[in-house]
Amino acid sequence: MYIDGQWVDASDGGTLDSLNPYTGEVWAQVPNATAADVAKAVEAARRAFDDGEWRHTTPQHRARLMRRLAELITKNAEELARIESTDNGKLYREMLAQWRYMPEWFYYYAGLAVSEQGRMLASDKPNFMAFTRKEPLGVVAAITPWNSPAFLMNWKLAPALAAGCTFVVKPSEHTPVSSLAFARLVEEAGFPKGVFNVLSGGPEVGKFLSESTRIDKIAFTGSDGVGKAIAQVAAKNLTRVGLELGGKSPQVVFDDCDVAVTAHGIISGIFAATGQSCMAGSRLIVQKGAKAQLIEKILERVKTIKLGDPMQPETEMGPAATKPQFDKVMSMLEAAKKQGARVVCGAKPAEIGGYFIEPTILDQVRPDMTIFQDEVFGPVLSVLEFETEEEAVRLANDTRYGLAAGVWTLNVQKAHRVAAQIRAGSVWINAYRTLAPYAPFGGYGQSGIGRENGPEGLAEYQETKTVWIETSGKSRDPFTIGL
């Protein structure tokens, strides 16, 4: 692990196996952090923040280091993508695209770091000036999931560094390797020791971190169940929390869509990344007139989806990332069938074996079914039909989540009307899954608290201080307080 600028084993020598989901074999062993290791990492980050020079560095200096790190990511993108794809079973080409785009987060937040910070306030008091300062929040503990470990870590790290925070990350026990490999680049870029620390380990390590009274914020991406548990623990110390949780995102398709374009968008929304994406467009809410033609078009392409080795460039869908994930998808499919969903295609393990699941479409899904309400995190599309725009909006919003949505229509007025009414943090019109460092991302409802990316993402790692300055130099009446 990387703690306080040193490469260390777990204090008790314990290790953790990391499996390659494609082969099912152990391909890496990493340390399994103990409570003492967690304390050591937190103290290193604490020291680097409290005594160290980091929080007093100029934003220009932090920005320079961040740009250097961005360059190192670009240089090492292929190796890091190979590591990550081996660890989580997602396509090498998807992981490579993520690593190649990741530097943009560091460039963007390096830019924000050196732009305006705080503002002059319009004072109504003749002898007073007032302004705000943006100051770093402190020590950030990041806990990340297995589906895009480094991408989601860097959505947190880039704004945290720009703000002047220090950082401890614990990646998922299923995919610890890429975050550890990334630490080599942080080291090479020349960040002071203690500013960035990586711990590997399971839920226990996440618990130790979130229970710590020595951290100022927990930045979590993962399931809503774990997010709620973390928020409860954090509440005891009033530790700030940022939560990016799951979703059950609707794709609302109107009769007047472009069927071919829409079919591709729906496929990309649910079958890319084997559906293992928080923003997977898992509920197809389609208007009666377009339904048959759209499903036919989707099916045509689904039949040709190439399942296989995630490392091969022609592969389009990899396996589920873990055995428990594979089992969970299978049991949700069984439950959906029992509750009356009709299988259009898939709903079974793929012939190639391993943790592969056939791309699945379920029709005649109803809002009272588990498959409509709960996140599958697999390649499963649930289909519902609607007649009126009002009904479409109602169905789209009939969820405890609110992460993302797609709206498909060539009628620009309807597109905007519907996008405005859907309660979700991101809405794409005639597209799906577009992301950028400058575009805020996050959830309504139980999809999370807070936003990542954009200026909103930086604000999550800052405190705002108001500074009042008396300019007359005269004594004031001590009993007319404050006003």
What CA–CA distance (Å, rounded) separates 376 from 283?
11
- When binding is defined by CB under 6 A, the residue of 154, 210, 251, 287 that contacts ligand NAD is 210
- When binding is defined by CB under 6 A, the residue of 8, 229, 311, 335 that contacts ligand NAD is 229
Beta strand 217-221 with 342-345: parallel, antiparallel or unpaired?
unpaired
To the query of whether residue 244 is one of the catalytic residues in this protein, the response is: yes
207 binds ligand NAD per the rule CB under 6 A: yes
65 or 168: CB nearest ligand NAD:
168
What CA–CA distance (Å, rounded) separates 232 from 128?
42
152 or 383: CB nearest ligand NAD:
152
54 or 271: CB nearest ligand NAD:
271
202 binds ligand NAD per the rule CB under 6 A: yes
Total number of residues shown for the chain: 483
Q: How many CB atoms lie within 10 A of CB 280?
A: 30
47 or 328: CB nearest ligand NAD:
328
32 or 172: CB nearest ligand NAD:
172
Tokens 């467009």, residue? 281
What CA–CA distance (Å, rounded) separates 463 from 66?
21
261 binds ligand NAD per the rule CB under 6 A: no
226 binds ligand NAD per the rule CB under 6 A: yes
132 or 373: CB nearest ligand NAD:
373
To the query of whether residue 460 is one of the catalytic residues in this protein, the response is: no
- When binding is defined by CB under 6 A, the residue of 403, 405, 427, 458 that contacts ligand NAD is 403
147 binds ligand NAD per the rule CB under 6 A: yes
Looking at 12-20, 37-45, 225-233, 250-258, which segment touches ligand NAD (CB under 6 A)? 225-233
For 344, phi then psi, to 5°, come to -85, -40
The residue annotated as part of the active site, out of 165, 278, 358, 460, is 278
**Who contacts 149 (Cβ-Cβ below 8 Å, separation ≥6)?**
84, 87, 88, 171, 172, 175, 176, 178, 179
206 binds ligand NAD per the rule CB under 6 A: yes
SS3 231: helix
Q: Report how far apart the first and last C-alpha atoms of the chain are (Å, whole number).
A: 53
Touching ligand NAD, residues 153-192 (CB under 6 A): 170, 172-173
What is the separation of C-alpha 294 from the centre of its chain, rounded to a whole number of angstroms? 30
**Who contacts 434 (Cβ-Cβ below 8 Å, separation ≥6)?**
428
37 binds ligand NAD per the rule CB under 6 A: no
Query: Shortest gap between Cβ of 170 and ligand NAD (angstroms)?
Result: 6
221 or 360: CB nearest ligand NAD:
221
244 binds ligand NAD per the rule CB under 6 A: yes
SS3 23: coil
Looking at 140-148, 192-200, 303-311, 389-397, which segment touches ligand NAD (CB under 6 A)? 140-148
Asked whether the beta carbons of 21 and 89 are under 8 A apart, the reply is yes
Inter-helix orientation angle 149-163/92-101, to 10°: 10
What CA–CA distance (Å, rounded) separates 473 from 483?
17
Query: Shortest gap between Cβ of 107 and ligand NAD (angstroms)?
Result: 21
Asked whether the beta carbons of 36 and 15 are under 8 A apart, the reply is no
- When binding is defined by CB under 6 A, the residue of 140, 230, 341, 422 that contacts ligand NAD is 230
The residue annotated as part of the active site, out of 84, 94, 244, 385, is 244
Tokens of 235: 């509440």
200 binds ligand NAD per the rule CB under 6 A: no
- When binding is defined by CB under 6 A, the residue of 245, 273, 302, 392 that contacts ligand NAD is 245
SS3 230: helix
What is the separation of C-alpha 113 from the centre of its chain, rounded to a whole number of angstroms? 22
Q: Which phi-psi region, left, alpha or beta, contains residue 347 (left: φ > 0; alpha: ψ -120 to 50)?
A: left
Query: Shortest gap between Cβ of 66 and ligand NAD (angstroms)?
Result: 22
Which residues participate in catalysis according to the annotation? 244, 278
Q: Which positions touch ligand NAD (CB under 6 A)?
A: 143-147, 152, 170, 172-173, 202-203, 206-207, 210, 221-223, 226, 229-230, 244-247, 278, 375, 377, 403, 448
